[in-house]
């Protein structure tokens, strides 16, 4: 498995398994199967209500815990120091582990004390409950504040990114600050594979449209992907995207697609341009 790294020691397998919206036995079975197929990066969150199911998979699987990168996240209504700490401790209990490899603030808070939340995030890292810390769904301005004003030692950011949504400014900033970028909803929930241009590239190389969409992301320095897939077939196909070869003509065709098709923008989302 191809693994991305940062200077401060984060090792993030480039293809991970997204677990939302799987819960219960279906989630446990999908994670066990993914680990058998070679996945070593699992993405969960308190809000997905499946951490106990992911934990059951970790216990069932023969893969040692230290070989698995585990990401979880704290929800945006739990960003006071006390609530953040309780949230991570509950995640660790549900997952059955003493630490997570990466702990993200899932979304920016509302009327919150940013500095205190970030201070708590950093403290949880220093205590070893989270080996690395990051933020998800932070627009560039807020990310800059966290890094430049508050000096937080982040290792990664997680944002929606796919062939129909550009993230160049965040990606440039991440690269110049030694952060990895995890692309969530990397298949645009099927919309990427439905694009005729993506289908034409897939036909040309004899691969799947979903694999073209993932490889376009994986070819970019510092970008990991976490497609959610429940079936063995889709999990294997997504891992196999690492072997797909795209050429300049393919990249030009993908560059010409619209880059403003955001799939995930709930009512509590920040102003994406702030």
Ligand X SMILES: NC(=O)c1ccc[n+]([C@@H]2O[C@H](COP(=O)([O-])OP(=O)(O)OC[C@H]3O[C@@H](n4cnc5c(N)ncnc54)[C@H](OP(=O)(O)O)[C@@H]3O)[C@@H](O)[C@H]2O)c1
Which residues bind to ligand X, rule: CB under 6 A? 18-20, 43, 106, 136-137, 158, 184-190, 208, 210, 226-231, 234, 237-238, 264
**Nearer Cβ to ligand X, position 56 or 188?**
188
Cα separation, 63 vs 222, whole angstroms: 26
Exposure class string for 14-49: b at 16+ Cβ within 10 A, else e = bbbbbbbebeeeebbbbbbbbbeeebbbbbbbbbbe
Cis peptide before 21 (omega within 30 of 0): yes
Shortest reach from residue 201's CB to ligand X, in Å = 15
Shortest reach from residue 162's CB to ligand X, in Å = 7
Dihedral in degrees, nearest 10, Cα atoms 272, 174, 88, 11: 150
Shortest reach from residue 47's CB to ligand X, in Å = 8
Question: Nearest residue by C-beta to ligand X?
Answer: 18
Look-up: residue for tokens 């298949």? Answer: 187
**Nearer Cβ to ligand X, position 95 or 136?**
136
Shortest reach from residue 269's CB to ligand X, in Å = 9
**Nearer Cβ to ligand X, position 82 or 262?**
262
**Nearer Cβ to ligand X, position 47 or 124?**
47
Instruction: Please pick, among 39, 48, 161, 184, the residue that the annotation labels catalytic.
Output: 48
> Nearest 5°: CA angle at 36, between 221 and 74?
60
**DSSP conformational letter for 228:** B
CA distances from 131 to 94, 126, 181, 234 (A): 18, 8, 17, 30
Cα separation, 32 vs 134, whole angstroms: 26
**Nearer Cβ to ligand X, position 43 or 195?**
43
Active site (annotated) includes residue 184: no
* Alpha helix (H) residue ranges in 78-218: 81-95, 114-126, 140-144, 168-176, 196-205, 209-218
Catalytic residue numbers read: 48
């Amino acid at each position: 498995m191809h693994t991305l790294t940062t200077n401060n020691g984060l090792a993030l397998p480039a293809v991970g398994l997204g677990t939302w919206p799987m819960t219960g036995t279906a989630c446990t079975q999908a994670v066990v199967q993914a680990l058998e197929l070679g996945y070593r990066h699992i993405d969960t969150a308190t809000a997905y209500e499946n951490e106990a199911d992911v934990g059951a998979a970790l216990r069932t699987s023969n893969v040692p815990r230290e070989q698995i990168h585990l990401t979880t996240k704290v929800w945006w209504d739990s960003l006071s120091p006390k609530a953040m700490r309780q949230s991570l401790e509950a995640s660790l209990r549900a997952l059955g582990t003493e630490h997570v490899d990466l702990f993200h603030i899932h979304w920016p808070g509302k009327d919150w004390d940013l500095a205190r939340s970030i201070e708590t995030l950093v403290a949880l890292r220093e205590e070893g409950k989270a080996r690395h810390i990051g933020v998800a769904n932070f627009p560039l301005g807020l990310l800059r504040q966290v890094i430049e004003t508050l000096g937080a030692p982040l290792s990664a950011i997680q944002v929606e990114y796919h062939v129909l949504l550009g993230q160049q400014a965040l990606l440039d900033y991440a690269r110049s600050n030694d952060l990895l970028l995890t692309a969530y909803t990397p298949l645009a929930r099927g919309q990427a594979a439905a694009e005729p241009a993506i289908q034409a590239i897939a036909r040309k190389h004899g691969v799947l449209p979903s694999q073209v969409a993932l490889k376009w992301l994986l070819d970019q320095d510092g970008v990991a992907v976490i497609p959610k897939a429940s079936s063995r077939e889709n999990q294997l196909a997504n891992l196999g995207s690492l072997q797909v070869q795209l050429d300049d003509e393919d990249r030009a065709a993908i560059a010409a697609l619209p880059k403003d098709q955001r799939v995930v923008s709930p009512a509590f989302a920040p102003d994406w341009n702030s």
